[in-house]
A and B are shown apart, each in its own frame.
Chain A
């Protein structure tokens, strides 16, 4: 279970102090899929970053898998990111000088897993995502949709319990939207907890969603709990 309690997040932008999250509380149960929705700058991506331990909240508390992690030191948070969380970035964030399979297997590298084993595990995921023929392509040689799938594969390489996807449908063409939704459906079937941020909810994704949280100006304006319609 993921629980956020009265979270605030402020940062300095020049001389201005910006409050990206303001007293936000949220709960997502294990195996649920939640969508964080709202316009740009509403705080949904910041919320996703907080849950993904990519940034720390300046106030409030955060629980991941029943452990409060708000005050964990950096190396514990890195371990959580490596073992528990798979993060799919809006801009994909693949490393350009590396091949597709190398990008996918990056999280495994410091764990001491051999190159052979890393490649086997990466190839398995790339096959599932129909990307095996691009395994040795450089990341910058991939199309947008291929980069998206490579980013998904990287997020799944450690078989994490929690999948966080920041605007996963916004930078790909309509042909690939269906495919990404299918991947999310499959992950949900496997019992993964999924949180997606999206400025607009795709009708085809709505059927997967258990909970929609609407953000506006760093606060939750509305929460909807929906029945699962798999």
Chain B
């Protein structure tokens, strides 16, 4: 068939969709809904996965925590030197951190204060966080803090007041915190983190190791954990085994194990997403099955007539597939756009479930990651089944004699 013939078939296919508006809408509206749901889930899940991947870059090779009475507790720095002597250990850095349970505007919120050894920052000149405003802490800094964006937004309080700030805490302002346990601290805000990985940084208050020790009541020889860096990635497991074997009252976590923990934290939600995927797939299949059944009853005669007036079976199938392609592409595109917008708007109504961070205040949008692969997958899901089910009945009606197809 000449190209002009194909063009005619395509034009007729698009005219047919206008001609059978009701039928077209009956297919395309559920398709839009299904694809919108599927796409927002994919983009949101993609956001979590991306955040988890970025977070892995933040982690030390091995984290060593102290165990007290079978629970995670302080770790003595006495073992720091012994760990440094283990072959292939490049550096051991103590870290002190803890949670700040606070009430902000009547809402229970929890923040994380993290004290870092500023003399021993080992990020090869690159911080795991990027700074939106101001600067990061410098060695020797005391009573200074870098805040996650959530913290910066939450503390609407003036210097000297507790948790009630007239304006957003900004660079140069002072942050006075006192947790429900009575621990107090006063810090000058020197920087605010950006929101690249909000789920991991929004609630952070980063201070010097000494300030954190003071705030949480740690002794000079105590830390929350030790961050161990290996000289090369292949030695990480060996070091971890060595530490775990040598120091009985410790819990040793490799970066991989910690990442797995993060994955597990969102795994259940991931599992829910998988279940929803299955439901959506079933919905799409039911939709296309209904479409297929409709075609087989209603259009078989039409196919017979077209064959009787000289159309080839392939031409009929091509036209049917074109109709489905237009419907599928249109419905899927609109659905993806709607899903993307819903995700961008913060998945209103279900963001709490998606994030699982009820104590993070203020709420922040669910991370969204819209990548090429996801879009291709969504188009495959939205278009191919529809094309398949339109081709199969057309083919079934097309392979029988026209007389039989007309009389069905």
Binding site for B on A (CB under 8 A): 49, 52, 54-56, 74-75, 78-79, 81-83, 87, 89, 93, 95, 97-98, 106-107, 109-115, 154, 158
Contacts and interface: CB of A to CB of B under 8 A. Distances in A.
Pick the most buried of B7, B301, B311, B402: most chain A CB atoms within 10 A of its CB.
Answer: B402
Contact of B8 (A93, A97, A109): A109
Contacts of B7: 112
A97 B16 contact: yes
Contacts of B2: 111-112
B305 A78 contact: no
B297 interface: no
Given A109-B8, A110-B5, A115-B11, A78 B406 contact: no
Contacts of B309: 81-82, 87, 106-107, 154
B69 interface: no
B406 A93 contact: yes
B359 interface: no
B250 interface: no
B401 A83 contact: no
B308 A81 contact: yes
B161 interface: no
A64 to B, nearest CB: 14
A78 B16 CA distance: 23
A110 B310 CA distance: 9
Interface in B312-344: 312-315
Given A52-B308, A110-B311, 7 more contacts: A74-B313, A78-B312, A97-B20, A98-B19, A110-B312, A112-B2, A112-B5
B337 to A, nearest CB: 30
A114 B8 CA distance: 8
Interface of B: 1-9, 11-12, 16, 19-20, 301-302, 305-315, 399, 401-404, 406
Given A74-B313, A93-B308, A54 B401 contact: yes
Contacts of A54: 308, 401-403, 406
Nearest to B311: A110
B298 to A, nearest CB: 11
Contacts of A75: 312-314
Given A74-B313, A97-B20, A112 B3 contact: yes
A112 B4 contact: yes
B308 A110 contact: no
B310 A82 contact: yes
Contacts of A98: 19
Nearest to B314: A75
Contacts of A82: 309-311
A81 B313 contact: no
Given A112-B5, A112-B8, A115-B11, A107 B310 contact: yes
B1 A78 contact: no
Contacts of B404: 55
B226 to A, nearest CB: 76
A74 B3 CA distance: 22
B4 A114 contact: yes
Interface centre among A56, A78, A115 (most CB of B within 10 A): A78
A78 B312 CA distance: 6
Contacts of B16: 97
Contacts of B6: 112
A49 B402 CA distance: 9
Contact of A112 (B1, B306, B311, B402): B1
A97 B312 contact: no
Given A93-B406, A112-B4, A55 B310 contact: no
A55 B401 contact: yes
A97 B4 CA distance: 23
Contacts of A87: 308-309
